Amino acid sequence: MKISRNPKEIHPPVAPYVHQIEITGPNRWLTFSGQIGMALDGTVPEDPIIQLQLALNNIKKNLECAGMTVADLTKVVFYLVGEFDTAQRKHVMRDFFGDHCPCMTMLYVVALASPVLKVEIDAWAYQEMI
């Protein structure tokens, strides 16, 4: 079964997409649209570190909406634009992931869908059904 969701705790999609699709069967897969550093009210802060925190929070809210946690993340891809303070970036990521280590890719790109966006995160989560 395929279930599409737009959690109310996250800004509405900014184009014709959904924030997440859950695929159920003997196990559950959850795939996300790229999550950006946008607040619930639609604002995007200038600070890329705050955008990173917001995008990760949007990942967390998507997980919670599906009854999952950060520990269920299997693959995370970061798309970053411009300069990021490496120490701050690592600190934010450590706070979010804790001891969990999903597969991860980090790319620095020229631009995202809007010039104000400095962060987009693509993710997959898996949950074994017992």
Domain edges within the chain: 2-128
For residue 43 the two structure tokens come to 């604002």
Beta-strand pair 35-36/20-24:
unpaired
How much is the pLDDT for 30? 94
Confidence of residue 18 (pLDDT cuts 50, 70, 90): confident
CATH architecture of 2-128: 2-Layer Sandwich (3.30)
The CA-atom distances, in angstroms, between 27 and each of 3, 30, 56 are: 14, 10, 24
- How far apart are the C-alpha atoms of 102 and 12, rounded to whole Å? 27
Tens of pLDDT, residue by residue over 30-68, are 999 999 999 999 999 999 999 999 999 999 999 999 999
Read off the pLDDT of residues 109-121 as tens digits, 9 standing for 90 and up: 999 999 999 999 9
Instruction: Answer yes or no: is pLDDT of 24 > 90.
Output: no
pLDDT at residue 54 in the model? 98
